[in-house]
Chains A and B, each alone.
Chain A
Amino acid sequence: EAQVTQNPRYLITVTGKKLTVTCSQNMNHEYMSWYRQDPGLGLRQIYYSMNVEVTDKGDVPEGYKVSRKEKRNFPLILESPSPNQTSLYFCASSLQGYENQPQHFGDGTRLSIL
């Protein structure tokens, strides 16, 4: 089954404790992206990757890091999480990143930073 898998689904942690949210897709997609979803703001892009070893900032990259060492994986790293990063996070992938390709989303990771 074609899917995007995120882990963990839920996490409560404390300010300053480094955490990583993993994302893996099995569709051989080149393009992967991270979004955060906040009430009244919709989805905002954090980082995206066009292919292995190619990443770039989205609209709200501050406080986040990513890496793309393998095509299927695109982890999101919060080196020193803060309460304003409490949010619902989604990973997505698409074929080649061209404009007419829809995104395939994971089921989301709800992060609470205390």
Chain B
Amino acid sequence: GDSVTQMEGPVTLSEEAFLTINCTYTATGYPSLFWYVQYPGEGLQLLLKATKADDKGSNKGFEATYRKETTSFHLEKGSVQVSDSAVYFCALSDSPSGGYQKVTFGTGTKLQVIP
């Protein structure tokens, strides 16, 4: 079945540092890929998405490119802020039998940004 593997955290960075959170996937079909962010005490929110190979999703300074050849969707940000501290989830969405959506999440990576 489908699976998503993310780098384990926690990741601790100083403010303005460069961020990379690795995500690789396995899927039988042609999935859409997502990054969600979870702030303390809240549900997950969509951060960005890409629906086909070579698409780049971007939002709030975060970027991720759908790489089919390496089955990866790494999250990057050039300069993190304290307010980016949260848990980040990589996810894929597939329609294994057509007509319904199956979403598979990674285990999440906690990011802590210190001033």
A residues engaging B (CB < 8 A)?
Answer: 4, 31, 33, 35, 40-45, 48, 50, 56, 90, 92, 94, 97-108
**Top 7 A-B pairs ranked by shortest CB distance?**
A105-B43, A42-B107, A97-B101, A102-B46, A43-B105, A99-B93, A100-B32
Given A42-B89, A98-B95: A31 touches B44 (CB 8 Å cut-off): no
CB < 8 Å A-B pair total: 66
B residues engaging A (CB < 8 A)?
Answer: 4, 31-32, 34, 36, 41-46, 49, 51, 89, 93-95, 99-103, 105-108
Does the CB pair B43–A97 fall under 8 Å? no
Residue of B51, B94, B105, B106 with highest tally of chain A CB at under 10 A: B105
Partner of B93, one of A48, A100, A105: A100
Q: Chain B contacts of A33 at CB under 8 A?
A: 103
